Amino acid sequence: MTQSQPNDPRQTVICLKWGDRYGPEYVNRMYRMVSRNTARPLRFVCFTDDPTGIGEGVEVKPMPPFDLPERMRFHPFRRMFLFQETLDDLTGPLLHLDLDLLVTGSIDPLFDHKPEARFVVAENWTQKGQGIGNMSVFRFNVGELTEVWDRFRPDPGAMMDLYRNSQTFVCRTLGEVAFFPGAWVLSFKHSLVPPWPLRFFQTPRLPEDAITVAFTGKPDIDEAARGEWPVRAAWKKLYKHVRPTPWIAEHWR
């Protein structure tokens, strides 16, 4: 397994996989999507509690031991370990990508955008103008955001009770964050699904400038590709609808 060296010219992309929500095929697809969408040397790292099935080319590292409240075992708050002073042997800028998103364009601009910023993130599509990022896509420098970890670690449960989610906690703790251009980082259902009632007749379109497309909540990537939007209450089918979207499969491979 390769290890980083001082002045390593590679761009480092990381993902996290724990529990059984996403299988190793999600990691392998993410690695292939990222590899196809960079013109630069790449280091791709997956922190996981189960490396089974993760393919060649992915550098696997263990998730830190679980010593948080049990309710955080599978909660996004668990990723706060990323903001410690050291992170295994990783250094420099890291680009974090959630496993439930598509990479549809070159990731290189995500490294180049606002290089002076400590934390660059997708602006949360449902909280525009509130200074909150959606942490499906974010970039940071290892060891430079330790105030997040220092505030979280003494009482993780209290932080979970105080903030609705981990991204609000991180952004409020940092106070000021930078955002990627909205045209680069999109939400499938908030950015691309046509408004009602056009969604019954029009297929979501992928803009040329898009770099990533996140699938938060429902539908999942595979469901959206098939034109399925699962709902618990039947009446929600009146507005939660998406047509089959072939371009998803073109990228998610």
- Domains identified in the chain and CATH numbers: 11-179 (3.90.550.10), 185-251 (no CATH)
pLDDT at 124 over 50: yes
In the structure, what pLDDT confidence band is assigned to residue 92 with cuts at 50, 70 and 90?
A: very high
Q: Report the largest interatomic distance among the alpha carbons of the chain, rounded to a whole angstrom.
A: 57
pLDDT digits (tens, 9 = 90+) for 139-168: 999 999 999 999 999 999 999 999 989 999
Q: Is the dihedral of CA 85, 87, 91, 94 positive or negative?
A: negative
From residue 215, alpha-carbon distances to 41, 90, 120, 186, 212 in Å are 27, 28, 19, 9, 10
pLDDT over 70, % of the chain: 97
Rounded to whole angstroms, the Cα distance separating 50 from 156 reads: 24
Mean pLDDT on 91-106: 97
**Distant-in-sequence, close-in-space partners of 52: CB < 8 Å, separation ≥ 6:** 24
